Amino acid sequence: MDFTRSGIPGFSVTDSFADVKQHLDDVCGHNDFGFESVRGYLELEGKRYFMGVDQNEVTHGIECVEVRGLFEGDTFEGIALGEMLAQEFAGELAKVGSTPIMEDYTIWWPDERVSFYVYEDVPSTICWWGNDLTNDEVKAIFSGKIEDLDPNQYHLYSPE
C-alpha cells in the first residue's frame, strides 16, 4: 500500500467521525477524556490494517487518523516503510516535502500535518492530523510547545 500525505485511501481527516467509525471492523471505542476515540481494522489491498481515529472534543470532527501495523512493501509517498532507519526515512521525506523534525520516538512533518511513531528506530505508525486545528496550533503541537496553547480549548496529546 502506498500511503500519501493526504491520508488513508478512501478515508480523510475531513470525513465525519461517525462515517469513519462505521467502516472499521471490530471497533472498540472509549470516552475517557470527553471525546471519542475508536480503534479497529480496515482492509486495504487485501491487508488488514489496525487503524485509530480520534475525535476533536470541541468540533466533534476528526482530530487525527492513524494506521499501525504496517506490512512489508508498504510505502509512504513512494518511500519504503520498514526498510530504513528513522533518520534515513526523515531524509527521504525532506526530498518530497518540508524538512521533518526528529525526536526520540517520533518523526514530525508539521507542514504536511503527518507524524510517524518510531519503534526500534523504524517508522511503524503513520498519523494524519485533522483540519480542525489551525496551522499554528499544529506547529505548536509538533514542536513540543503544547504549553503555548490553551488546554481548555484543545485536547492535546501525543499520538504515541
The domains of the chain are located at: 2-148
Q: Is the pLDDT of residue 54 over 90?
A: no
For the segment 66-107, what is each residue's pLDDT rounded down to a tens digit? Answer: 998 899 999 999 999 988 899 999 999 999 988 898 888 889
d(CA 80, CA 155): 32
For the segment 26-39, what is each residue's pLDDT rounded down to a tens digit? Answer: 666 655 555 688 88
30 burial level (CB within 10 Å; 0-12, 13-18, 19+):
exposed
Give the SS3 label for residue 104: coil
Grid cell 484543545 is found at 154
For the segment 116-138, what is each residue's pLDDT rounded down to a tens digit? Answer: 999 999 999 999 987 666 666 66
